[in-house]
Amino acid sequence: MTLLEQLAIGDMRTTGKSAEVTAAILKNPKLFDSVFDAMWQSADAGVRMRAANVCETVTRTRPDLLQPRKRDLFQRVAPMPQQEVRWHVCQMLPHLKLTRAERRRAYAIVQSFLDDKSSIVRTFAMQAMADFAKQDATLLPQTIALIEKLAASGTPAMRSRGKKLLKELQHPFGQD
């Protein structure tokens, strides 16, 4: 059974064989590209969702696999409207080594996700914005202002995450 066939197993409420596909890629990194491409090429929403999950999980420990696909992540994957892909994009973008201009582009992408109908996407977008602000202090004022607004008006998950992020951003070295 191919990796993509494994990713087709299950419905939208399950991760299916994502753990097995992740393990296979970590064992043989050459398999990464076919799963990465499935995030935007597959006609099956479940495959796209699980491919995004696998790519995000793999790149936590192997961000080097994502680096050569940076352009595709920006141009092909990030524009995908599917919420499950979007929240994983929010998790993957901060794994990349970015120039200042690329970081600003990535920041703009995740900031645009604050308008997503999914509160999960919006919560992950908040986290990604905070991650970028930790890498680029010039993003701190804007990020703090946006997160303060969302922490006051968002869903319970957004308010909770917002409070945590504000504490991190206002005291980046654990100082009170």
d(CA 73, CA 69): 6
Helical packing angle, 140-153 and 119-135, nearest 10°: 150
Q: Are 59 and 29 in contact (CB under 8 A)?
A: no
Half-sphere exposure at residue 70, Cβ-oriented, CA atoms within 13 angstroms: 14
pTM: predicted TM-score of the whole model, two decimal places? 0.92
Eight-class DSSP state of 82 = -
As a whole number of Å, the end-to-end CA separation of the chain is: 53
d(CA 4, CA 9): 9
Eight-class DSSP state of 17 = T
pLDDT, mean over the chain? 95
Q: Return the pLDDT at 140.
A: 96
- Indicate the pLDDT class of residue 176, thresholds 50, 70 and 90: very low
Q: Return the pLDDT at 173.
A: 53
The position carrying tokens 């929403």 is: 45
d(CA 115, CA 81): 12
The position carrying tokens 């499950």 is: 84
Q: Return the pLDDT at 13.
A: 86
Give per-residue pLDDT as tens, 130-166: 999 999 999 999 999 999 999 999 999 999 999 999 9
Give per-residue pLDDT as tens, 27-85: 999 999 999 999 999 999 999 999 999 999 999 999 999 999 999 999 999 999 999 99
Q: Return the pLDDT at 6.
A: 93
Give the other-Cβ count within 10 Å of 40's Cβ: 19
Give the other-Cβ count within 10 Å of 67's Cβ: 14
Give per-residue pLDDT as tens, 60-75: 999 999 999 999 999 9
Give per-residue pLDDT as tens, 99-139: 999 999 999 999 999 999 999 999 999 999 999 999 999 99
